[in-house]
Structure 1
Amino acid sequence: MAHENLAGVFAPVLTPFDKTLKPDGPLFVKFCSWILSQGSGLAVFGTNSEANSLSVAEKLELLGLLIENELPPERLMPGTGACALSDAVTLCEAAAKAKTAAVLMLPPFYYKQVPEDGLFAFYAETIERVGAAAFKVCLYHIPQVSGIAITMPLIERLIKRYPDTVVGIKDSGGDFANTRAMLDAFPGFRVFSGSERFLLDTMRHNGAGCISAMANIHPGAIVNLYETRAGADAPAKQTALNAMRAAYDTAAMMPGLKRTVAEYGKAPGFRIMRPPLMALSDPDWARLETTLNDLGLKMPNLDKILA
């Protein structure tokens, strides 16, 4: 069985930078604390964390800060995917030592059209080298970005070889039919949707929850749907969540989310993107802000926690 903490809502936490483009560790810790206060877990170093713009050393430093500040490791699912096997192992070892709930692990994504045997070997070698009994892996399927799919046969092979380690997957492919196929094929496997748009459907088919970028701005509302999914008003709550996400369909997701946190939290460090990504323009923010106001976005106590 998968780790009991590997369920619910997790946020791929946005990473603030200072004017020199260095990660702002203290502000990062405060923002993680706010997300936790809203009931969500922390999938730090995910896609919307600008994870692949961060070095291994920077990720290790930020993870260390979270642990030093006594944020609960059982609510952490750090991203540890890397193109280099040694980098993946280093990050996974740190997560295992910290006793996080799991790691969220992209496949090695630079080389395309690699054989399934190669992907299996990468995960297997990482797991063998880490060697910790409590080490848990949640696979990360986002082929439209990584260019590498986590296929059903690969999942089956990994579960068969490492049933106590490979315990879940985040499906960010955007096709619920694929998510449903995973849920049907692998009972007990922790399947997370990669968007809260699919949260209710995922939970109705015994899924684990969602790992969603939108949990950076209104985690409480997403957690509320997760917790009240059996209620008569669940469909209406899902519709409201969908409307909030749609507000970001006309703006770049990461810059839009970071500008939202910067403005609502009075924290300019969140406006900064590390190149090659670029910050949201003022005209784009004005349009987004109008929509968010119309939708009634609330980020309770964010400015106080980030102060």
Structure 2
Amino acid sequence: MNPARDLPISGVFCAAATPILDSGEPDHPIFASHCKALLEEGCDGIALLGTTGEANSFSIAQRQALLDDLIVAGVDPRRLMPGTSQTNVADSVTLTRHAVECGVAACVVLPPFYYKGVSDEGLFRFYAELIEKVGSNDLRIVLYHIPPIAQVGLSMELVARLVEHFPGIVVGIKDSSGKLESMQGFASTFRDFSVFSGADPFMLPLLRSGGAGCITSSSNLIAHHLRLVFDNWFDPARTGEVDRAQERIDAWRNLSNAYVQLPTVKAMLARRRNHDGWTRVRPPLVELGPDEIETVWRRMEELEAIEND
């Protein structure tokens, strides 16, 4: 039996990229199609509107509409974990309350990231006011620790205080610090608390340290490999198979970092989903150039050929 399944939330969650129309609006039908494919390919759920989903490049109304239309298209809200944070409490409450009313599994909540050097007390007040103003027993929060991007991190002491004050609501954390020891520290410190790796190479060692799984960008492309690792990491008879899958995961992850990661992932999706519109990104990001796309696609063909041998 997979020990990770005993945690409040666990599994392979895709930090889903958002396809964009020429107008700059999210492409709702293509997004719904992509999310359904991800679930078929092995994802337990979809963590939409996070960093990979370019959430902070969209308005509140755009974010709400994308979630609404995804559910209307037939995706079970219980398999969704949208990002619902903004740099202020009021907008974060609006997004989070809307998501809870939609029936999502949990909300992934960044700290307010505009002001730097803020105290744990200030961050606690942000999360406490958010939780209290949403005012729902159905609210589940997965904290989002991504100091390389937000430049505002979540300390062990802050997380402990939030878990103590809001039991059953603050149920986990996505750790995108890039430091395995940070993920393992959260997993070893808190019981019945879901710690997700924000990078694919760390999911396997994190699972072995009591982690819950992953929320990653590469799962847009390699959910089946991550599914194999998650389902079998604890079985000594499957160690060789798991290690080979992890090697493939690492190779695809490395390719996604060949250039700026998000435009690269979207270029890869353009080939995988056979839809050129996937290459579009919102400002301030810039799409890959034709030569870069050609290089990435050629390397994708090489990786696929290796897997098919």
Which residues of 2 match residues 120-159 of structure 1 at below 5 A? Answer: 120-159=124-163
Cα distance in 1 between the residues matched to 2:298 and 2:71: 38
**What CA deviation, in whole Å up to 9, does each residue of 1:178-209 have, x standing for no partner?**
11111111122100011110111011112100
Cα distance in 2 between the residues matched to 1:238 and 1:131: 41
**What CA deviation, in whole Å up to 9, does each residue of 1:260-282 have, x standing for no partner?**
11122121221111111111111
1:7 deviates by 0.8
Moved over 3 A (4+): 2-5
Are positions 1:269 and 2:277 aligned together? yes
**What CA deviation, in whole Å up to 9, does each residue of 1:225-249 have, x standing for no partner?**
1111122222222122111111122
Unaligned runs of 5+ in 1: 299-307
CA contact (8 A) 2:258 2:264 kept: no
**What CA deviation, in whole Å up to 9, does each residue of 1:116-137 have, x standing for no partner?**
1110000000000111111100
Matched positions, count: 297
TM value normalised by structure 1: 0.93
Name the residue aligned to 1:237.
245
1:144 deviates by 0.8
- Residue 81 of structure 2: SS of its match in structure 1? coil
1:5 deviates by 6.6
Name the residue aligned to 1:56.
60
Cα distance in 2 between the residues matched to 1:132 and 1:256: 38
Cα distance in 1 between the residues matched to 2:305 and 2:38: 15
Cα distance in 2 between the residues matched to 1:101 and 1:16: 23
Which region of structure 1 is more displaced relative to structure 2, 222-231 or 4-13? 4-13
- Residue 195 of structure 2: SS of its match in structure 1? strand
Amino acid aligned to 1:253:
Q
Are positions 1:10 and 2:17 aligned together? no
Which residues of 2 match residues 126-205 of structure 1 at below 5 A? Answer: 126-205=130-209
Amino acid aligned to 1:186:
F
CA contact (8 A) 2:200 2:249 kept: yes
- Residue 27 of structure 1: SS of its match in structure 2? helix
CA contact (8 A) 1:29 1:66 kept: yes
Amino acid aligned to 1:264:
R
Are positions 1:280 and 2:284 aligned together? no
Cα distance in 1 between the residues matched to 2:298 and 2:80: 33
- Residue 104 of structure 1: SS of its match in structure 2? strand
CA contact (8 A) 1:251 1:288 kept: no
Amino acid aligned to 1:232:
T
Cα distance in 1 between the residues matched to 2:15 and 2:50: 5
Decide which of 34, 38, 57 is 1:35's aligned counterpart: 38
Amino acid aligned to 1:194:
G
Cα distance in 1 between the residues matched to 2:120 and 2:305: 43
Cα distance in 2 between the residues matched to 1:297 and 1:256: 20
Cα distance in 1 between the residues matched to 2:65 and 2:173: 26
Q: Structure 1 residues 156, 274: closer, same or farther in 2, change over 3 A?
A: same
Are positions 1:295 and 2:303 aligned together? yes
Cα distance in 2 between the residues matched to 1:205 and 1:240: 22
How many percent of aligned residue pairs carry the same amino acid? 35
TM value normalised by structure 2: 0.93
Amino acid aligned to 1:270:
W
CA contact (8 A) 1:11 1:211 kept: yes
CA contact (8 A) 1:143 1:173 kept: yes
Cα distance in 1 between the residues matched to 2:15 and 2:140: 18
Cα distance in 1 between the residues matched to 2:200 and 2:93: 30
Amino acid aligned to 2:228:
N
CA contact (8 A) 1:190 1:208 kept: yes
Q: Structure 1 residues 275, 186: closer, same or farther in 2, change over 3 A?
A: same
